[in-house]
Amino acid sequence: MYTIFFNIKAGQVDDKQPELEINQLRNELFELLMKSLRESLQIAQEDTRLLSYSRIFFFTLQGIVGTYTFSKESPEELMERLGTTFDEAVEVLLIGFKSKLGKKENS
């Protein structure tokens, strides 16, 4: 299901009116991700870095999920073994984004 929902005939997230309904749903999910990052980073909607950072965040999530899509381990086993790694991946991304935002503002 993961492959169908996120990869098959995927369109660009900045296409405001995709033809396929699945791409409309994907874009809505991506908008939620952008909203969460915008609030966490306190960055303006029109700031071009928001789209870039959201894509980077999505690629990281996609890498994590895609890596374990066909794992023989249960979701519970994966979280037991790798939950702290997943948490740290998100934390490192947010720290990096905040650091870059701070450098831009202080330049």
Q: Amino acid identity, residue 79?
A: M
pTM of the model: 0.81
Confidence at 27, pLDDT banded by 50, 70, 90:
confident
Residue 19 has what DSSP assignment? S
The label of the residue with tokens 């700031």 reads 47
DSSP 22-79: HHHHHHHHHHHHHHHHHHHHT--TT-HHHHHHHHHHHHHHHHHHHHHTT-SS-HHHHH
Q: Which tens digit of pLDDT belongs to each residue from 28-81?
A: 888 999 999 999 999 999 999 999 999 999 999 989 988 888 899 999 999 999
What pLDDT is recorded for position 80?
A: 96
Q: Count CB atoms within 10 A of the CB of residue 64.
A: 16
Which is nearest to 62 in space by CA: 31, 86, 98? 86
Q: For the chain, what are the domain ranges?
A: 2-105
What pLDDT is recorded for position 5?
A: 64
What pLDDT is recorded for position 39?
A: 96
Q: Count CB atoms within 10 A of the CB of residue 34.
A: 20
